[in-house]
Amino acid sequence: MVLLEHSVVVRPANVDDSDGLRTLLNEIIRIGGTTAITNELSLEEMRDWFISGDDVVSCFVAVYPAGAVVGFQSLSRYGDLPAGWVDIATFARRSQHKSGVGSALFPHTRKAAKQLGFTTINASIRVDNVGGLAYYSRMGFETYLVEDSDPKAEGRVFNRIHKRFDLNNG
């Protein structure tokens, strides 16, 4: 565990964190505007998608010492990513945006990805998620693809900007 400013601890997430992570994520989903996830998650979905599912690579959580979850970051291998690539998802409690929670989580996630032999971290961000786009740019991610077609024609609700972080350079 690493103690950070404002008494926030970053550590690997486990299934006991499921309800806290789900509560945080479902609040973000209800507010809308930053995630492509449109339906609130059950505990089972939370575990499967972000903590312990077959496609999950790692998950780190930022908590206050008393246990309240303020953010989490997960790596997973969904879909048709190139060999050596892994997807990242980052969520912070709305009151914690711009507080450094995401910046505190990323070194742990980056280290885990590198140790597990990945070469590139992929972030797919909604085009209207200004905060998410700025966060990933600050972390050193570079845009490599912008979806600008009609998202409904492809069965998705949101267009995305795809950014990559080359682990060999970071």
Query: Is the pLDDT reported for residue 123 higher than 90?
Result: yes
- Higher per-residue pLDDT: 64 or 38: 64
pLDDT at 90: 92
Q: Which domain holds residue 7?
A: 2-166
**Domain containing residue 96: CATH number:** 3.40.630.30
Total domains present in the chain: 1
State the amino acid at position 18 in one-letter form: S
Q: Which of 6-20, 46-60, 91-105 has the lowest mean pLDDT?
A: 91-105
Report residue 144 as tokens. 């490599």
Where do runs of H (alpha helix) occur along the chain? 18-31, 43-46, 101-115, 130-138
The residue-averaged pLDDT of 23-52 equals 85
Q: Are 110 and 167 in contact (CB under 8 A)?
A: yes
Q: Residue 6: pLDDT band by 50, 70, 90 thresholds?
A: low
Taking the C-alpha atoms of residue 142 and residue 25, their distance in angstroms, rounded to an integer, is 25
Mean pLDDT confidence for 19-27: 91
Tens of pLDDT, residues 44-94: 998 999 999 999 999 999 998 887 899 999 999 987 899 999 999 999 887
- Rounded to an integer, the average pLDDT of 130-151 is 87
pLDDT band of 158, cuts 50, 70, 90: low
Q: How many CB atoms lie within 10 A of CB 104?
A: 22
Look up residue 97 and give its DSSP letter.
T
Q: Which residues contact 107 (CB under 8 A, 6 or more apart)?
A: none
| Cβ contact 27:41 at 8 Å | no
Q: Strand order in 120-126's β-sheet? A: 2-4, 8-12, 56-63, 69-76, 85-92, 120-126, 160-166, 142-146
Share of residues in the chain with pLDDT > 70 (%):
86
In the chain, what's the furthest Cα-to-Cα distance? 47
Determine the length of the chain.
Answer: 170
